[in-house]
Structure 1
Amino acid sequence: MARAQLLRLGAALCASAALPSLAQQPGKPAIQMTTRPIPSTQEALPVVGCGTWIGFDHRPGTDEYKRLPGVLDALFAAGGRLIDSSPMYGRSEETTGELLAAAKPGGKPFLATKVWTSGRDAGIAQMEQSFARLRTKQMDLMQVHNLVDWRTHLATLRGWKDKGRVRYIGITHYTASAYAEVEAVLRAEKLDFLQINYSLDAREAEQRLLPLAAERGVAVIVNMPFGGGGLLRRLRGQPLPVWAADIGCTSWAQLLLKFVLSHPSVTCTIPGTSRGEHMADNAAAGAGTFPDAAFWRKHADALRP
């Protein structure tokens, strides 16, 4: 780990040590979720959000849909704000808009979605549709999904950002085969956010992309923090290590999220779920201590499924 990263990690650990008690106080979340600054503005963003891929692609009246208000309730109760979606995710944007219209979050949600098409006019039409589905006049974050026609869409988004329609802009991807192109865009363009996959069993992003994002002043949202789900399913069959309690983890999900959030370049992670109890469990990983790289190396054997 580079010296600059170690210094940032040390500062983060000092901040974590100063966190208030996790005991619930009247009118406050049951846990005190850590926040980290968005580099381009220093706005504080809670470190655990909610992804909506698959989990929110349900229609009203179904049993799955009826569970979803509990997901947002758990997110907001823990102090979380970021909800990430995409027109690629079926009706997830529409579902999110419906649920937020009926919910009473403690603070303003941080809405993030994406553009996933080719051509300027098609991109504008798709983004306008996302505004309508999410029932908002201003999008907190609009991202170019998987770099599809990124030059065209970033040009549009810069104009929209100047006009205040979007607050932040970024790019996304989810596979290491695209990292060379992601790196090239990060070096060439001024961006607020990078959304990328990173997990205990998929660590390629830490080689170049995460340090580059820090160097360029770009916030990082981690998708697929459970390695697509397969890693978590495998580990659940094993007993949780005794040392997990030392970093405040009571589940494998929390431990895997702690690993992701321990990287000093990571701003937030967005585990997806359709169950409130899982959202509450995930959110708990956003409080307390975030160990350094030496800690994870020491316990690497226990984390091999």
Structure 2
Amino acid sequence: MINKEYNRRVVLKLSGLAGLGIALSPLLSSFNFKNEILLRKIPSSNQSLPVIGLGTWQTFDVGSSAEEMVKLVQVLIEMDKLGGTVIDSSPMYGSSEGVVGNLTRKANLNNSFFYATKVWTKGKDEGIRQMQNSFKRMKRQQMDLMQIHNLVDWKTHVKTLRDWKDRGKIKFWGITHYTDGSHEQLEQVIKAEKPDFVQFNYSILSRHAEKSLFETIQKNNTATLINRPFEKGSLFRATKGKDVPDWAKEYDINSWGQFFLKFILSNELVTCIIPGTSKPHHMIDNMMAGYGKIPDSKIREKMYNYIKSL
């Protein structure tokens, strides 16, 4: 479901957002739908992924709320239309896994995405039980990516994940964390175990991963999922009421969300970013960061210095 071409008329017709009272014109007016979303390769395979995906922490933990389900179905539809595939979840995220499974099936999109979730418990048997439950909730026979959440009991779970990959139950396995203080341990596990993926925090104002984590990733051919790209919303609070600088528009940046995401994508070792959202128009805006020009190293530092100066 990637590498599609869209024109303005088709996207407006398909989006279905008019009924939600969402003004799309500012987003669509300067977007070139003839482009294709940027793909980056998973180093341990020949498979590539679109560079913008979807995180589900908090945003998909809606239980059985019909009102919230309507919006989340639209989020998934917009993501699919604009070429996104990666959906990241966890048993830690309340009802999120089940909501993802139910809504992707409801929208007839259950085979359109790259499904990633996690094991978040201690002990081999408990880990297997939890992962089997995740398969059921997300309605998968095979999981694309199973990750060890925040490195909880990783030495135990890595053995199970290697076995499951060999047997085809999962395509890839990985490790995750969300703090700067975890980066050194992530590096140690990457060097010792060679996971297919590592997920961690990285943003325009949180660049600790550049000290040595990215170097370790490059040397060990590890794919990356980036969490917390907006610093839990603090980046938007810092730029509230301010216009995106005109020079940024030369890189197809037309919103602050795209500014922050394209800064991250300017690092070629970033495979995919997984911002969370429950709003269709935010999903569209996030996806647009995967299109058009990507800043080079010079513009990357200009972006950083601009935000630091605000």
**Identity across the alignment (%):** 44
Q: Per-residue deviation at 1:62? A: 4.0
C-alpha distance in structure 2 between counterparts of 1:21 and 1:235, whole Å: 32
Paired residues of 2:104 and 2:110 also in contact (CA < 8 A): no
What does residue range 126-145 of structure 1 map to in structure 2 within 5 Å?
126-145=130-149
> 1:132-168: per-residue Cα shift (whole Å, max 9, x none)?
0000110000000000000100100100001000000
1:96 to 70, 85, 100: 100
Tell me the SS of whatever aligns to 2:116.
strand
What is the alpha-carbon root mean square deviation over aligned residues?
2.1
Aligned to 1:289: 293
2:202 to 177, 191, 198: 198
Choose 146-155 or 284-293, whichever is displaced more. 284-293
> 1:221-257: per-residue Cα shift (whole Å, max 9, x none)?
1011112221122213321111121110111001100
Q: Per-residue deviation at 1:24? A: 6.0
Are 2:189 and 1:185 equivalent residues in the alignment? Answer: yes
Aligned to 1:8: none
Q: Given the superposition, is the C-alpha separation of residues 220 and 253 from structure 1 closer, same or farther in structure 2, using an over 3 Å criterion?
A: same
Aligned to 2:114: 110
Are 2:211 and 1:214 equivalent residues in the alignment? Answer: no
C-alpha distance in structure 1 between counterparts of 2:36 and 2:111, whole Å: 14
Q: Per-residue deviation at 1:299? A: 3.9
> 1:165-220: per-residue Cα shift (whole Å, max 9, x none)?
00000000000111111111011112100101100111001111112111100001
1:256 to 252, 257, 260: 260
Are 2:55 and 1:51 equivalent residues in the alignment? Answer: yes
Choose 159-168 or 237-246, whichever is displaced more. 237-246
C-alpha distance in structure 2 between counterparts of 1:74 and 1:21, whole Å: 14
Which amino acid counterpart does residue 94 of structure 1 have in structure 2?
G
Aligned to 2:237: 233
C-alpha distance in structure 1 between counterparts of 2:138 and 2:4, whole Å: 34
Q: Given the superposition, is the C-alpha separation of residues 137 and 251 from structure 1 closer, same or farther in structure 2, using an over 3 Å criterion?
A: same
Instruction: Give TM-score scaled by structure 1 length.
Output: 0.89
Which amino acid counterpart does residue 258 of structure 1 have in structure 2?
K
C-alpha distance in structure 1 between counterparts of 2:199 and 2:9, whole Å: 33
Paired residues of 1:60 and 1:66 also in contact (CA < 8 A): no
Gapped runs of 5+ residues in structure 1?
Answer: 1-18
Paired residues of 1:211 and 1:265 also in contact (CA < 8 A): no
Residue-pair matches, total: 287
Q: Per-residue deviation at 1:105? A: 3.4
1:66 to 43, 67, 70: 70
Paired residues of 1:236 and 1:252 also in contact (CA < 8 A): no
C-alpha distance in structure 1 between counterparts of 2:243 and 2:89, whole Å: 33
Q: Given the superposition, is the C-alpha separation of residues 77 and 107 from structure 1 closer, same or farther in structure 2, using an over 3 Å criterion?
A: farther
Paired residues of 2:201 and 2:228 also in contact (CA < 8 A): yes
Q: Given the superposition, is the C-alpha separation of residues 90 and 107 from structure 1 closer, same or farther in structure 2, using an over 3 Å criterion?
A: closer
C-alpha distance in structure 2 between counterparts of 1:194 and 1:259, whole Å: 19
Instruction: Give TM-score scaled by structure 2 length.
Output: 0.88
Paired residues of 1:38 and 1:218 also in contact (CA < 8 A): yes
Choose 232-241 or 36-45, whichever is displaced more. 232-241
Tell me the SS of whatever aligns to 2:203.
coil
Which amino acid counterpart does residue 68 of structure 2 have in structure 1?
E
C-alpha distance in structure 2 between counterparts of 1:104 and 1:243, whole Å: 41
Aligned to 1:151: 155
Q: Per-residue deviation at 1:111? A: 0.1
Q: Per-residue deviation at 1:65? A: 2.5
Q: Per-residue deviation at 1:273? A: 0.1
Paired residues of 1:241 and 1:302 also in contact (CA < 8 A): no
Aligned to 1:78: 82
> 1:97-141: per-residue Cα shift (whole Å, max 9, x none)?
000111133962100000000000110000000000000110000
Tell me the SS of whatever aligns to 1:280.
helix
Paired residues of 2:263 and 2:303 also in contact (CA < 8 A): no
C-alpha distance in structure 2 between counterparts of 1:298 and 1:132, whole Å: 46
